[in-house]
Every structure is written in structure tokens, then in C-alpha cells.
């Protein structure tokens, strides 16, 4: 059956099929492995949902919800293994996933709820629809989590870990790091207690939660992130999950960037790239972008050491080459990754003295981040633009971008206090340059 085939019924209806599709004859292939259906089938299925016998109606409804939930999990798994083409199928299935989710919650079919959520998570994360995802997570937290203990409700143990992972992800986006770390540590200990050597899936779950803990620890500057990432990497290698191992390897590279060990960072980035499936263009693009980051860090070190211009240009050209490859390989709807790459291209062209090209990439980055509701990321780029414009003596434009960055940082309150202070310092530098008519640096 074609994903998303058939009209979605009114939200209040208990049956999921609302009428026939046009056309005639048997199933028809669209050439991509999906099929339309015979026009009689919707009538047949509708009869099942209108049976007078309540038990028969319930069986039909459960079959529909389980089928859609299984589809959501399948697409999530395919995406996790590097098949980004499933985003198109998820786009077609969005209404079915939302409707099946509502029916599953209404009837207490909790595994089906999580199946649909996995598909929606993949689609909304890829396309940057974070506000919609946050609303869906907030709705199901009371279905699975005991508010007194943060542990699972009785009978919901199998699904609690996944829901907790959703919650931690939202806390990270809100930059509530202390709460995110506290909840993720509970998550890791729960998964560790359930992991078994003879159960590959439980080891994969533990690897994922350790990776999540490493992400949080790296963001708040804890060196323990290396140990968390390394344990996650080793577990993924042990069970033969190359994609998960590649993700941990790349984040070990990020950790070593923070520790100022660029050689070790590059080693892990290249290792992650080797583990990435050839068909995972988006994942490979991310690894290439990280190699560009290493080249940019080497440029910064060389500039601080007053290295010859030829050395600086070599590092900048290396960075630009990696970023351009990453941009070409990233899908056009992967707006989170596109925003990062455009920001880095803007910074690199700015360092090369090509301000107009830098501004084009910076503006794209801001547009993508604002469309995804990522105001912190937008502020980071706006700050970078303000610095570049200050150096170019375009002071009025610099002040506009600095003011925009400040407004966006202020929405995060105390969690962005240092960023706010840095931006206020930048605004003071711009104002001083404007009043004195002399060059100033932030």
C-alpha cells in the first residue's frame, strides 16, 4: 500500500479510512517501490470499521494503529542507518502517524504510541519542526512517567526510556543543562541495569543513552564526556552497529576539539567517516563538516602564532573545501545541518576577507535557524555577523545584528548569561567605534 494512501478521516472518527481512491484495476507501481491500491479496497476496509460487532471493530482499529506504528519505527530505523530518502515517505504519512498516535493513546496501546512517535520524531527533527515535536512529547509524558520518582509508571517500563530520551532532548534545546544531565544520568543507570550481554537491543539502548550523556557533558565542559562517548563507541562496535559507532566517533572528535587536541580530533573524525555507510550522504556530510572545523581551528592557531600568510590560506582553503563538500551532500530539507554549514562557510569567507560571500552564507544560516525556532543558534550567527561588520567599519549594520543577537540570547535567561555579557561588550565596542570614528575590536 502506498504510504499516506487514502484520505484521513475527521479527527473524531474511530475508523481510519474515509472513502475510495480514484483509478481502477490492481495495485500500480509508482516506480519507487510504492503502490496505489485497487479502488474497491477502501470500501472493504471501511466496512470493517463499521461492523456492528464492537470486538470486530476494535480488532480492525488495532490492526490499523499497529501497522502505522510499525511503519513509524521502520522509517526511524532506516533513517538511523543512513537512508534519508524515507523523509519523503514520512511526509506522506504524517497525517496517518498523528491519527494513529491519537487512537493509540485513547485506547492505551502504549507501544503503538511510541512507534508513531519515532516516525514523527525523525520527520520533525529532519525538517526543523521543533515546536510541534515539543508539544507531542509534553502530551505523552504523563502517560509514561511517574512525576514523584521520574521513573516509569507500572506496566510502562519498556517505553519509559524512550520517552525520557525525548524529554532530555527538549531540555538540551532549551539549554537547561543541569536538569538535562540529572535526567540523563537516571536514564543511563536505568538502561545499564537492564542491559544484558545476550540482548543486542538492550546494549544498543545503553549505547544511545551513554552517547546522550556525553553530549550534555561536552556542552557544559565536563571532561567525563570522553569516557561516556568511548563506552558508547565500544558498545556499538561490539554489537556491530556501524552507524552508532560512527556517531560516537565523531563526537569523540568534538570532545578532543574542546580539549585542544586537534590531531586526536581529526583521527576520530576520519574514523567516524570510514564507519559511515556510503549511502548516508547526510551523515558523511556531517563528518566532512567536522573535518572543516579542524582546519578552521588550525587556522586560528596559526593566526595566533603569526604564521606566514601561505600557511593561513592553506588551512582556510582546507576548511572551505570540506564545508563546500558537506553543503553539496546535505539534503535541502535538513535545515539544522544546513544552518551549521552556512555559519561555518560565513566565518571562513569572513576570515578570507570576502565579506559579501560571508554575509550571504550567514544570512542563510540565520534564516534556517529562525525557521526551526532555534533562536540560540540564530543569535550565535548574528553575533558573528556583527563582529565581521564591525571589522569592516559598517557600524550601523553591525549594531543591528548585535541587537538582534542580544534579543535572542535574552530569551534563554540565565542559561545564556555569558553570551549576553559578551554581546553587551560587542555592542559597547560598536558604539565606541561610532562615537570616536576609530577602529575598534570586540
What is the grid cell recorded at 371? 525557521
pLDDT mean over 299-313: 96
Contact status, residue 255 vs residue 272, Cβ threshold 8 Å:
no
Q: How far apart are CA 349 and CA 225, in angstroms?
A: 32
What is the grid cell recorded at 413? 535567561
Residue 81: pLDDT band (50, 70, 90) is confident
Q: CB under 8 Å to 119, separation ≥6 — which residues? A: 71, 72, 73, 75, 76, 90, 93, 97
Which pLDDT tens digit goes with each residue over 338-348? 999 999 999 99
Q: How far apart are CA 121 and CA 33, in angstroms?
A: 23
Phi, psi torsion values for 149, nearest 5 degrees: -115, -15
At residue 105, does pLDDT exceed 60? yes
Residue 44's pLDDT is what? 59
Strand 35-36 vs strand 28-29: parallel, antiparallel, or unpaired? antiparallel
Beta bridge partners of 152: 145
Q: How many angstroms separate the most distant Cα atoms in the chain?
A: 85
Q: How far apart are CA 147 and CA 56, in angstroms?
A: 37
pLDDT mean over 331-339: 92
What is the grid cell recorded at 233? 563507541
At residue 158, does pLDDT exceed 90? no
At residue 21, does pLDDT exceed 50? no
- Residue 127: how many CA atoms within 13 Å on its side-chain side? 17
Contact status, residue 238 vs residue 203, Cβ threshold 8 Å:
yes
Q: How far apart are CA 397 and CA 267, in angstroms?
A: 40
What is the grid cell recorded at 185? 544520568
For the chain, domain boundaries:
1-139, 374-442
Helices (H), 145-224: 157-173, 177-194, 200-219
If one compares 155 and 50, the residue with the highest pLDDT of the two is 155
At residue 14, does pLDDT exceed 50? no
Q: CB under 8 Å to 219, separation ≥6 — which residues? A: 172, 177
Contact status, residue 213 vs residue 248, Cβ threshold 8 Å:
no
pLDDT mean over 231-249: 93
* H or E stretch at 36: strand 35-36
| Inter-CA distances, 414 with 50, 133, 169, 216, 409, Å | 55, 24, 19, 17, 10
Strand ranges (DSSP E) for 316-385? Answer: none
Q: How far apart are CA 49 and CA 384, in angstroms?
A: 57
Q: ∠ at Cα 264 (365, 225), nearest 5°?
A: 70
pLDDT mean over 378-388: 96
Q: Please count the helices (runs of H) and the strands (runs of E) in the chain.
A: 18, 2
Residue 51's pLDDT is what? 60
CB neighbours of residue 249 within 10 Å: 27
Least confident of 258-262, 277-281, 429-433: 277-281
Q: How far apart are CA 261 and CA 252, in angstroms?
A: 11
pTM score of the predicted model = 0.69
Amino acid at each position: 500500500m502506498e504510504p499516506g494512501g487514502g484520505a484521513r478521516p475527521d479527527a473524531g472518527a474511530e475508523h481510519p479510512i474515509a472513502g475510495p481512491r480514484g483509478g481502477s484495476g490492481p495495485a500500480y507501481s509508482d516506480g519507487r517501490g510504492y503502490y496505489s491500491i485497487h479502488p474497491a479496497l477502501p470500501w472493504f476496509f471501511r466496512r470493517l470499521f463499521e461492523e456492528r460487532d464492537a470486538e470486530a471493530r476494535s480488532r480492525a482499529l488495532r490492526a490499523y494503529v499497529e501497522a502505522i506504528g510499525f511503519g513509524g519505527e521502520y522509517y526511524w530505523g532506516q533513517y538511523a542507518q543512513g537512508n534519508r530518502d524515507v523523509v519523503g515517505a514520512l511526509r506522506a504519512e504524517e497525517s496517518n502517524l498523528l491519527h494513529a498516535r491519537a487512537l493509540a493513546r485513547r485506547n492505551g496501546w502504549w507501544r503503538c504510541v511510541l512507534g508513531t512517535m519515532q516516525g514523527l520524531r525523525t520527520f520533525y527533527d529532519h525538517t526543523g519542526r521543533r515546536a510541534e515535536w515539543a508539544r507531542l512529547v509534553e502530551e505523552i509524558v504523563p502517560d509514561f512517567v511517574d512525576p514523584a520518582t521520574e521513573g516509569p509508571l507500572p506496566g510502562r517500563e519498556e517505553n519509559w526510556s524512550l520517552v525520557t530520551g525525548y524529554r532530555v532532548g527538549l531540555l538540551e534545546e532549551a539549554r537547561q543543562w543541569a536538569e538535562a544531565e540529572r535526567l540523563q544520568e537516571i536514564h543511563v543507570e536505568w538502561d545499564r541495569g537492564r542491559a544484558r550481554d545476550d540482548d543486542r537491543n538492550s546494549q544498543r539502548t545503553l549505547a544511545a543513552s551513554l552517547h546522550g550523556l556525553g553530549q550534555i557533558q561536552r556542552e557544559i565542559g565536563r571532561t567525563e564526556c570522553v569516557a561516556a562517548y568511548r563506552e558508547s563507541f565500544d558498545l556499538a562496535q561490539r554489537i556491530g552497529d556501524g552507524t552508532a559507532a560512527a556517531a560516537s566517533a565523531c563526537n569523540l572528535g568534538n570532545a578532543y576539539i574542546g580539549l585542544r587536541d586537534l590531531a586526536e580530533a581529526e583521527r576520530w573524525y576520519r574514523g567516524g567517516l570510514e564507519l559511515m555507510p556510503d549511502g548516508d550522504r547526510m551523515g558523511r556530510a556531517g563528518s566532512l563538516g567536522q573535518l572543516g572545523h579542524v582546519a578552521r581551528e588550525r587556522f586560528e592557531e596559526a593566526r595566533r602564532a603569526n604564521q606566514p600568510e601561505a600557511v593561513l590560506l592553506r588551512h582556510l582553503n582546507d576548511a572551505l573545501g570540506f564545508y563546500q563538500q558537506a553543503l553539496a551532500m546535505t539534503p535541502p530539507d535538513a535545515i539544522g545541518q544546513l544552518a551549521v554549514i552556512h555559519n561555518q562557510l560565513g566565518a571562513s569567507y569572513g576570515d578570507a576577507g570576502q565579506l559579501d560571500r560571508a554575509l550571504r552564507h550567514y544570512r542563510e544560516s540565520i534564516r534556517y535557524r529562525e525557521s526551526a525556532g532555534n533562536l540560540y543558534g540564530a543569535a550565535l550567527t548574528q553575533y558573528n555577523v556583527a563582529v565581521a561588520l564591525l571589522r569592516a567599519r559598517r557600524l550601523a549594520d553591525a549594531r543591528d545584528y548585535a541587537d538582534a543577537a542580544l534579543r535572542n540570547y535574552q530569551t534563554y535567561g540565565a542559561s545564556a548569561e555569558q553570551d549576553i555579557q559578551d554581546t553587551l561588550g560587542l555592542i559597547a565596542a560598536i558604539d565606541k567605534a561610532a562615537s570616536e570614528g576609530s577602529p575598534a575590536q570586540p
